[in-house]
Amino acid sequence: MSVKIRLARGGAKKKPFYQVVVADERCARDGRFIENLGQYDPKQNPPLVTLQEERTLNWLNKGAQPTDTVRQLLRKQGVWAKFKQPEGA
């Protein structure tokens, strides 16, 4: 089972918002997920991103793979740098 950190779409037509979720890659985009890690709302100015940083790092350390879009969000929030920095540094 491969676990991904990805976006699940919510909201009305032409008014999207997204949840950052951990899910089995075989599940549908808006289907079953393991854990909700935060939200992403691209319609606000500036776009709103809220993440549970500790839980996100926990899942990354367990081997969960973020999608390209989620990886960009993690970089903007500084979570990706904390994940990539070596232990003890």
Q: What distance, in Å, lies between the first and last C-alpha atoms of the chain?
A: 32
pLDDT mean values, one per 10 residues, the chain (89 residues) = 90 93 87 91 92 93 93 92 75
Per-domain residue ranges for the chain?
3-83
Structure tokens at 24: 């089995």
* CATH tag, 3-83: 3.30.1320.10
Structure tokens at 69: 């879009």
pLDDT of res. 36: 94
pLDDT of res. 65: 93
User: Can you tell me the distance from the alpha carbon of 89 to that of 87, in angstroms, rounded to the nearest whole number?
Assistant: 6
pLDDT of res. 88: 57
pLDDT of res. 64: 92
Whole-structure pTM value: 0.86
